[in-house]
Structure 1
Amino acid sequence: MVDLSPSEPMPRPANRPASEHTRRLGSALRQWAARGVGVVRVLDRHGFGTVEPGQLLAGNAEGETAGRLLLGALDPVAVPLAREAAPGRPRVADAHVTEPDAVAAGLACAGGATLLGHALPAELAEALGAALAEGRPAALASTADGTAHLVLTGAELTEAHGGLGTEAADGAAGEAARQLLRRGATSTERLTAEGVDLLLDLWVPVPTLLVVGSGAIGGALLAQAELLGWAGRAVTELAEARTALAGFTEADVLVLLDHAPAFDALLLDGITGGRGFIGALGSRRTQAARRERLLAAGLSERELARLHGPVGLDLGARTAAETAVSVVAEVIAERAGRTGSALAGAAGRIGA
């Protein structure tokens, strides 16, 4: 039995574009995994106003740190906890931030927090770091005393690393994490699973939408991205687009508007790179000509199947705004493993 109603819930703001520091945090976890990693998380807090969930600070014995807690306001307490974390010796510490220091850091008001610092075994640090760096969903569940840890990764959080002491606790924590994943937002929760008090941090990657080309549809796509809480940018030059695509994670989205054959190189990069959602607009004639060029360039039929072209669901869109809705609808459906059919005709769970 999983209780997802913590006594002091942490506010969950609407999704915002994922900042680069989360991906840098993942890279640091992977880099330090073999040498030993300590992490610090927010176990409980009061005050500070609205705070983004999924707060994590990592450090190693050499004094390096990555990530942040409450915009760095808790660093004086959190950084030593991370650097001194040792296997089997979790630590809990209280921190208080005054009003001037909180406001200077960008928080709304003063507050206090109870921090949990613990070592993260190499396998778990590698698994969590890879997911964060590559833009895949990930969860870190720990007993509230910091003695046992479970990392869940994968599109449905089905890949498990470590454990919480019993199969029942692992299963209950996994169920709770997947329930939260269906909400589609990064979360931090205190919960009880099979009688065990747990701290659960879930990271849901937020897409970055790369629009290549110009025009009304591009503007409408960026407006849709903003509405959804995605990051978005538009470029028109091939070189700039290829550079941006090279930094893609699994969560990111390319929509190519430009029909010029020169931009086939961008699609080749995206299809063979294997990361993210690759889509292209264009008429049936444009799509057929593009397809022949890509096959001639060496792509196989299987590889070409990764290209969503023409991108978008068949909604009968006529305006730029409606076209943008159809495009983001296909992205959402693809991420959820759905076909985009009418809910009235669906037999499965609604919204899951």
Structure 2
Amino acid sequence: MLDIAGELNRWLAEGRDFAVATVVAVSGSAPRGPGAALAVDADGTAIGSVSGGCVEGAVYDLCTQALADGKAVRERFGYSDEDAFAVGLTCGGVLDILVTPVPADGLGRKAFRTALSATARGEAVALARVVQGPVKLLGQALAVRQDGSYEGELGGHPDLGRAVADETRSLLDAGRTGTFDLAQDGSHCEPDLTVFVESSVPPPRMLVFGAIDFAAALVRMGKFLGYHVTVCDARPVFASRTRFPEADEIVVDWPHRYLHRTETDERTVVCVLTHDAKFDVPLLETALRLPAAYIGAMGSRRTHADRDRRLREAGLTEVELTRLHSPIGLDLGARTPEETALSIAAEIVATRHGGTGLPLSGSHTPIHRDTVGPRPGRSARVAA
């Protein structure tokens, strides 16, 4: 649901009644993962998507019904063997969807408002909702912040609220979306509650080193994929806002020196486009010892061989060197800066999700596989 936070935040500000349908579990092949949402207001306006079209009509009807009767409901949609055009997922998967009414005067609106406004501001927050358990608790929500504070309540039980907030914070700290079980007394003994947690974290960083024409195309691709993009180059004449209007940050500094002082984490992507030993060797020596999600370096195979030799002389181990994607990108036959940026982005996506990079028509791997790591953007949809 947090992937449509901007529009829902506007609906809240306008005092609209609405219902939101959220994917809370997926099995088999499905076009969208946990956290995907469709919302419908009292006038029938719809935003978002839960299935890319397969069950949108039926889910829309559930939302209008929830608005009418004020009751949350959980429904399962799967493949129909008898009629591929019946309500179901013709791709063969199964979706569990929670539909929650959010009336303008409802008590649960405070939790939604907190989660949606924090997401819209780019702050870390998690929305926890009961997806299985007593009917009176179904759909009730808490918005949990990184410091452990929260808004909302669960059936007027403060002890249960605190227990859910504690569990939710653990998922938020990891930037994960998923479910956990609890008993109504907040313990893990004989659980009779299932809680779905959707985490929203600030976008991951893409660090592009080397202010060249290929970098300009990669900046645009990085923004399209939801990254916070920084361009760094030691040459002020090239590292300028005029050349990189879409970058979030432009830094004039020696690349390795900037990488030493800036923040990185397990979601950070590092793209080295300098292909100049005096820049990229000290930079990669630093990068390959950081917990980055992806590290790639541009250059010919001859440049790569020379770079590899220099890095080994600098003391990098075989394990550290295996993290380097060089030459950078997948083999798409790319020529132009835009095509090259696409090949780099394709390799980043394949690395993040464990993809092979092979044509789907010639492979037998699942089209929709479990996500390996948190996705960029506001909602990191990784099943716990």
- Give the TM interval when normalised to the shorter protein: 0.5 to 0.7
**Corresponding residue SS for 2:78:** strand
Please point out which of 215, 230, 233 is paired with 1:254: 230
**Which structure's CA Rg is the greater one?**
2
- Paired-residue identity, %: 19
TM-score if structure 2 supplies the norm length? 0.51
Quick check: 1:139 aligned with 2:138? Answer: no
2:232/2:251 contact within 8 Å kept = yes
Which residues in structure 2 correspond to 1:97-136 (within 5 Å)?
Answer: 97-98=79-80, 109-120=91-102, 121-136=108-123
Quick check: 1:93 aligned with 2:75? Answer: yes
Deviation of residue 310 (structure 1)?
5.5
Distance 1:157 1:72 in 2: 38
**Corresponding residue SS for 2:43:** coil
Deviation of residue 72 (structure 1)?
3.6
Q: For 1:79-128, what per-residue CA distance to the aligned partner results, in whole angstroms no more than 9, with x for missing partners?
A: 222244338422333433347969xx9x8942344432112344333322
Q: Which of the pair is proportionally richer in helix?
A: 1
Deviation of residue 26 (structure 1)?
0.8
1:44/1:113 contact within 8 Å kept = yes
Deviation of residue 35 (structure 1)?
0.7
Deviation of residue 167 (structure 1)?
1.6
In structure 1, the gaps of 5 or more residues are 1-20, 220-233, 271-275, 288-306, 330-352
Paired positions, count: 256
Deviation of residue 182 (structure 1)?
3.7
**Corresponding residue SS for 1:71:** coil
Distance 2:289 2:230 in 1: 15
Distance 1:265 1:57 in 2: 37
When residues 92 and 308 of structure 1 are mapped into structure 2, their CA distance, relative to the original with a 3 A threshold, is same
When residues 308 and 47 of structure 1 are mapped into structure 2, their CA distance, relative to the original with a 3 A threshold, is closer
Distance 1:191 1:140 in 2: 15
Aligned residue for 1:152?
A: 144
Please point out which of 38, 57, 67 is paired with 2:48: 67
In structure 2, the gaps of 5 or more residues are 103-107, 265-279, 293-384
Please point out which of 168, 183, 192 is paired with 2:174: 183
Aligned residue type for 1:92: R
1:142/1:200 contact within 8 Å kept = yes
Deviation of residue 27 (structure 1)?
0.8
When residues 262 and 118 of structure 1 are mapped into structure 2, their CA distance, relative to the original with a 3 A threshold, is same
Aligned residue for 1:58?
A: 39
Aligned residue for 2:164?
A: 173
1:46/1:113 contact within 8 Å kept = yes
